[in-house]
Amino acid sequence: MIKAAIFDMDGLLVDSEPFWRDVEIDVFRTVGLEMDDEMCKRTTGLPTDAVVRYWYEKHPWHNRSIEEVGAEIIQGAYDQIGKHAEAMPGVPEILELFRQQGIPMAIASASPIHLIEAVIDRLNIRSYFALWHSATLEKRNKPHPDVYLGTARKLGVDPAFCVAFEDSGNGLKSAHAAEMLTVAVPADYEFNDPKFNIATLKIPSILQFNLQVLRGLENELPINSTLR
């Protein structure tokens, strides 16, 4: 049986990716790097420090430190997401589903704790979760399994009895490495990317996740199942 449901946050529970991209474009411009949405999508799902290092290696700059750029991106995202972001379609329904089944829920995010809390308060979903955990508090961020293993440990649940929901390839690698059941919910532009083939189940929207699908997962759906 599934004993816990663990959710990624950005792009999965909250429609925050457009805000991250807008902030990245503005901040990288201060170091002479002109970005667009397509360039930003290359690093979707990576921790902010990894995003900054990725672009610094490709287009080095000298007027600001990597740490300063990363901190400004995080602060800008915090401001915009906390004020304007909305829940992804299907979020109220899936949270109610797990609550009705008596299955505890948690968040395992690459974002800092203060941003996680800003989001759950913005969406008014704090009461659904037993806890939330940030990969920034672990030794290694996603795609390593640390944040999922840490979340399962805090819940007191064996990772093998957890189902993890992820929208990014790096996040999926993290949950998969933790040996959890995984549900991938990729964005439209990368739904058919092979990096999502490791998921137990792939769906285009969490609106499609219902009690019947939950029961299928508990009966060990075959790897690479896809619902459209």
* Cβ atoms 95, 128 nearer than 8 A: yes
Per the annotation, the verdict on 22 as an active-site residue is: no
The alpha carbons of the chain give a radius of gyration, in whole angstroms, of: 17
- In sequence order, which ranges of 124-199 are alpha helices (DSSP H)? 146-155, 169-177
Residue at 188: amino acid letter: D
Q: Which of these is catalytic: 10, 49, 146, 167?
A: 10
- Would you put residue 45 in left (φ > 0), alpha (ψ -120 to 50) or beta? left
Per the annotation, the verdict on 10 as an active-site residue is: yes
* Cβ atoms 115, 136 nearer than 8 A: no
CA 189 to chain centre: 17
> Residues 146-173, buried b or exposed e (16+ Cβ, 10 A)?
bbbbbbbeebebebebbbbbbbbbbbbb
Q: Which residues are marked as active site?
A: 8, 10
